């Protein structure tokens, strides 16, 4: 890679980001298409977020992805939002154009693309249980609502967040059956047993000593279990679900597809998805 004064910079802001595989896949894509771009990770703590965002334009950075814990908070520092990001209430992609910062969200579309392409699952008409109510859960929830799921249940360690997300989705999709349930509520088990698709949209599982949020006895072989964590590739949740015969998927597919959409927003070029996928496979060896 020949970095020079004309190289366009994109990257990722979040904290922590030591686990990220995004630089591998984006830089491989830039190389494949012979684009003078470079993708860099930027470790940004919450208290430094305003400074980081305000500095993007001054440093001629073309755009950034946004990850935990900034996807919702970052919105207040942007000049404009896409319709998708405004509805969801979270941003995972920022484009810098003529000094203006525009927020977008490719997470939900990336999740759906992964669900359909990797697992061959159509979520329409399905009963869905989402663990977590942060930025990623918001994007996934809205995208699944648009596709016509039958029922959606949400939980979070901070229940007001889950209730707020449920209310926001109801505001846009009046006919959808939505519910919230606490982690210690007796209805929690009932909802896990009855769902078709269970999604972990929390960071729980990134570390070896993280607790298992679901009792493995509640899984059945006709369920889909999707953990948006991609590092490690098999969390405790996915391992337990797989042992019960569930169809399982980690977050690599979502990472690749949402990244491809961000790539296209920044470059105006069609993303070489298979090149991006192979770069991640190679980086994990």
* Contacts (Cβ under 8 Å, ≥6 apart) of 245: 219, 220, 221
Residue pointed to by tokens 């209430």 = 89
The strand pairing partners of 247, in sequence order, are 224
Q: Which of 8, 31, 45, 71 is catalytic?
A: 71
Secondary structure of 157-192 in HEC code, one letter for each residue: CCHHHHHHHHHHHHHHCCCCEEEECCCCCHHHHHHH
247, two tokens:
């169809």
Q: Cβ(240)–Cβ(256) under 8 Å?
A: no
71 is catalytic: yes
DSSP annotation of 20 reads -
What residue ranges in the chain does DSSP mark as E strands?
Answer: 8-14, 37-43, 61-66, 80-81, 93-97, 100-104, 127-131, 151-155, 177-180, 197-200, 224-227, 247-249
Point out the residues that are catalytic.
Answer: 71
């Amino acid at each position: 890679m020949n970095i020079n004064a004309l190289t366009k910079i994109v990257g990722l802001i979040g904290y922590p980001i030591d686990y990220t595989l995004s630089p591998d896949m984006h830089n491989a894509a830039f190389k494949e298409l012979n684009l003078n771009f470079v993708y860099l990770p930027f470790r940004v703590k919450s208290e430094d977020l305003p400074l980081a965002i305000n500095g993007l334009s001054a440093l001629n950075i073309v755009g950034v992805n946004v990850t935990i814990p900034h996807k919702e908070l970052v919105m207040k520092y942007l000049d404009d939002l896409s319709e998708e990001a405004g509805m969801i209430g979270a941003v995972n992609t920022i484009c810098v154009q003529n000094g203006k910062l525009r927020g977008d969200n490719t997470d939900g579309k990336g999740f759906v693309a992964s669900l359909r392409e990797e697992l061959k699952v159509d979520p329409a008409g399905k009963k869905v249980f989402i663990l977590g109510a942060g930025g990623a859960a918001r994007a996934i929830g809205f995208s699944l609502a648009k596709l016509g799921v039958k029922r959606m249940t949400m939980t979070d360690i901070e229940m007001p967040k889950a209730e707020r997300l449920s209310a926001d989705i109801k505001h846009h999709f009046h006919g959808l059956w939505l519910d919230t349930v606490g982690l210690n509520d007796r209805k929690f088990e009932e909802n896990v047993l009855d769902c078709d698709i269970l999604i972990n949209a929390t960071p729980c599982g990134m570390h070896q000593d993280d607790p298992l949020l679901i009792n493995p006895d509640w899984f059945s072989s006709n369920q889909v279990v999707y953990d948006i964590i991609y590092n490690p590739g098999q969390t405790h949740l996915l391992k337990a679900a797989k042992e019960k015969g569930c169809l399982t998927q980690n977050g690599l597919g979502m990472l690749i597809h949402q990244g491809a959409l961000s790539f296209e927003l920044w470059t105006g070029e069609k993303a070489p998805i298979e090149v991006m996928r192979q770069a991640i496979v190679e980086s994990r060896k």
